[in-house]
Amino acid sequence: MQACTYLIVFLSIPLAGAAGQEPDSLPPGVTSQMLRNGQLLYEGPGLCTSCHGKGGNGIPNAGSDLTDTTWVHSDGSFEGILAQIQVGVPAEHSSTGTRMPERGASRVTPNQLKAIAAYVWSLSRGAQ
């Protein structure tokens, strides 16, 4: 009888990354710790605040707002944001007219860059 109880409990546990994943749940491979680290990197060595502001609301003529649901150079997915940060944005394609250098001109590691992208992803979802 006890085995059935455990089976029922086990079957009721949702599987991470399942097809029915909630739209604002963390992307595969992203953890809550990455979001926390990403915020620290965003506000520090990632150099993101100089153009996008501390809260990601953007700075006129510098960097666009990262807190809304409008994505100018990405589809807004974690992978899309990561790719965009890696390659940057030329001034002629920038919505503010200001160039975003590759990796934001920072010297963060690839794993740190992923954490920053995770944090930026969370900004438009209220998940931070």
User: For the chain, how many structural domains are there in total?
Assistant: 1
- Does the pLDDT at position 54 exceed 90? yes
**Whole-model pTM?**
0.79
The per-residue pLDDT for 127 is 54
- Enter the tokens of residue 56: 């990601």
- Does the pLDDT at position 112 exceed 90? yes
Is 23 within the bounds of a domain? no
- Does the pLDDT at position 115 exceed 80? yes
Domain assignment of residue 44, given as a range = 29-123
Distance CA 92, CA 79 (A): 23
Mean pLDDT of 37-65: 96
CATH number, residue 91? 1.10.760.10
Say if CB 57 and CB 65 are below 8 A apart.
yes
The percent of residues above 70 in pLDDT, for the chain, comes to: 80
Distance CA 77, CA 107 (A): 23
Is 22 within the bounds of a domain? no
The per-residue pLDDT for 24 is 57
Is 2 within the bounds of a domain? no
The overall average pLDDT reported for the chain is: 83
Is 11 within the bounds of a domain? no
Is 20 within the bounds of a domain? no
User: Residues for the chain: how many in total?
Assistant: 128
Is 87 within the bounds of a domain? yes
